A and B are shown apart, each in its own frame.
Chain A
Amino acid sequence: MATSTVPPPVEVSTPRAPARSSGRQKINRTLKYVLLLVFVVIVLIPAYVLFITSFKGPADADPSTAWLLPTTWETAGWAKAWETLAPALGRTFALVIPASIISAMLGSMNGFVLSRWRFPYANVVFTLILFGMFIPYQAVMIPLTQLMQGLNIPNGIPSLLVLHIVYGLPICTLIFRNYYESVPSELIEAARMDGAGLLRTYASVILPVSAPGFVVVLIWQFTSAWNDYLFAAFFSSGSNGPVTIALSFLAGGQLTDYAASMAGALIASLPTLIVYIILGKYFVGGLMSGSVKG
């Protein structure tokens, strides 16, 4: 502060008032924005590469132009990617939408019971449910493949539907439980006093205020099921699997058509990116719940 040439601020406790900022604070603020913009550039580098490479044709294959815009904007890569991924995209929607809705509904009922209509050992049950969220699925994978065969659930979308619902239950339960903790218990007590049973209370008191919780859970489930590769690798193939599998076949191998695979990566990411851009606030809400305490 002492070296400042501008008249010093009247008091230290009002650093947020821009009118009073000293020269040094202005420099700090400029520095801060320069730093923030540098990080924006770094974070966006992969997006830039995806975009430009997806439009490149064979003429731009030379490494010397790798970071430059295409000389001619070709759409052959996009056409090839779309052709390869389109059937898988349809299958992924058919998988992800019902999986999200069903696990959200189960999670909502569990969350209600575990937060507002407790039973003996509810905390123990909750912790045991929660542990299911952290296990590496590799630890159940071998017997799981046998179980699904034993239950005669066909590989591909039907298997993945069951798995995303079941293994989505812990996180959905957690998010709803944390959410319902914020519902005033007086509301539930009042309903109980009026003689409403469990289901009545759930339907008339809890469900009407559940919309934000549902948005968070649906987004979370949609994103994680859409982006799943582990279950897809074990329980589906290129011909019946979701878009992550199709993309890994398109982009895999030693000789890669980078234009097509990068266009494919963009196509496969578009649904979750759109959800993120439109509903970003709720997306963050789901992320926070991942830290258990919410």
Chain B
Amino acid sequence: MFTKIRTWGPALALISPTILLLGIFVYGLIAQNVQISMTNQHTSLPRADFVGLDNYFRLFGDADFQHSLRNLLLLTVVFLAGTLIFGFLWAWILERPDFGEGFFRSVYLFPMAVSFIASGVVWRWLLSSLQTDQPGGERTTGLNRLLESIGLGFLQNSWWSDPNWGVAAIAVPAIWQLSGYVMALFLAGFRGIPDELREAARIDGCSEWKLYRHVIFPQLNPVMLSAVIIIGHMSLKLFDLIRAIVPDANTYDIQVPATMMWVKYIGSDYADSAAIGTIMLILVALVVVPYLVYTSRQEKR
């Protein structure tokens, strides 16, 4: 027993600063956040009485918050669909080493290195739906202008200014930024498939399409799961991009929980702000906890 402690004691000592820090900054603060969310601290006054789950019930009954949840769902669905389609397509095309493959990979991945704040600057212009009344009918800028000049004018739309579907336009820059990441995930998946598997299928007379459909694609399911988890939780956290594209923080139409939490914080409504934070945490945990348990079980085997 004592010798055992002598071997793992120092290990525990080495990692204890991290355990302590994360114990406080992650788990301690989550507990405190839940506690604040159950008080009536709706102003900057340090008054705080326990009100139980009242704030949560009120939020879920609140039309604004319901709207933000609906927006989040819409954003996530479009964001996921876009990144998975482009990421998978690019990886599939680039899967076999060929001339210039590295160049294309680098170009598709580069938006990932840029901050949402910086890319938001240009996307705000691209997704502009402002109509400036100029003589001669030249009225629009950004993507709308481009679409018109290449004869795709029917694709013009009001982007994020649309009261119902506006938030889906926010997914466009998000897709632009993260498709390369999903591509990299899928590429790693493709490369992880042993060559013998392909050879065996070819010897068995498999056509190229059948080889992919029945041999290669099923091997990519774990990668797909990782991609869905990562993009899904990024979508839930998406905050910078919306703030960068939409100048007015209070714009109701494109509000998601992450931005609403900020608006409440600015308005010193700490209890509501904390409650929205907790709801976001629960949404993430519903997806991530099973995934973490699953991965740690896989590793044990």
Contact = CB atoms under 8 A, between A and B. Distances in A.
A187 interface: no
A33 B203 CA distance: 29
A276 B258 contact: no
Interface in A1-41: 12-13, 15-16, 32-33, 35-36, 39-40
A137 B19 CA distance: 18
Contacts, number: 279
B202 interface: yes
Nearest to A130: B292
A110 interface: yes
A135 B244 contact: no
Contact of A138 (B258, B270, B299): B258
Contacts of A228: 115
A291 B230 contact: yes
Interface in A223-269: 223, 226-230, 233-234, 244, 247-248, 251-254, 256, 258, 261-262, 264-266, 268-269
Which of A43, A50, A125 counts the most chain B CB atoms within 10 A?
Answer: A43
A36 B22 contact: no
A49 B122 contact: yes
B119 A139 contact: no
B93 A49 contact: no
B226 A16 contact: no
Contacts of A268: 115, 117-118
Contacts of A13: 199, 202-203
Given A132-B22, A135-B30, A138-B280, A36 B104 contact: yes
A39 B90 contact: yes
A144 B29 CA distance: 7
Given A49-B125, A119-B8, A293-B295, A43 B185 contact: no
Interface residues of A, number: 99
B92 to A, nearest CB: 10
B281 A110 contact: no
A248 B243 contact: yes
A243 B40 CA distance: 36
Contact of B132 (A63, A137, A147, A202): A63
Interface in B5-24: 7-8, 10-12, 14-15, 17-19, 21-22, 24
Interface stretch (B73-81, B154-162, B213-221, B231-239): B231-239
Interface in B115-150: 115-126, 132, 134, 136, 138-142, 145-146, 149
Interface of A, helix, strand, loop or mixed by DSSP? helix
Interface of A: 12-13, 15-16, 32-33, 35-36, 39-40, 43-46, 49-50, 53, 62-64, 66-67, 106, 109-110, 112-114, 117-120, 123, 125-132, 134-144, 147, 166-167, 169-170, 173, 197-199, 202, 223, 226-230, 233-234, 244, 247-248, 251-254, 256, 258, 261-262, 264-266, 268-269, 272-273, 275-276, 280, 283-284, 287-288, 290-293
19 contacts: A66-B145, A113-B11, A118-B8, A119-B11, A131-B292, A136-B237, A138-B237, A138-B276, A139-B33, A139-B278, A140-B26, A199-B10, A247-B117, A248-B243, A261-B121, A276-B112, A283-B109, A288-B188, A291-B226
Interface of B: 7-8, 10-12, 14-15, 17-19, 21-22, 24-27, 29-30, 32-33, 36, 86, 90, 93-94, 96, 98, 100, 104, 106-126, 132, 134, 136, 138-142, 145-146, 149, 173, 176, 180-181, 184-185, 188, 199, 202-203, 208, 222-223, 226-227, 230, 233, 236-237, 239-240, 243-244, 247-248, 257-258, 261-262, 265, 270, 273-274, 276-278, 280-281, 284, 288-289, 291-293, 295-296, 298-300
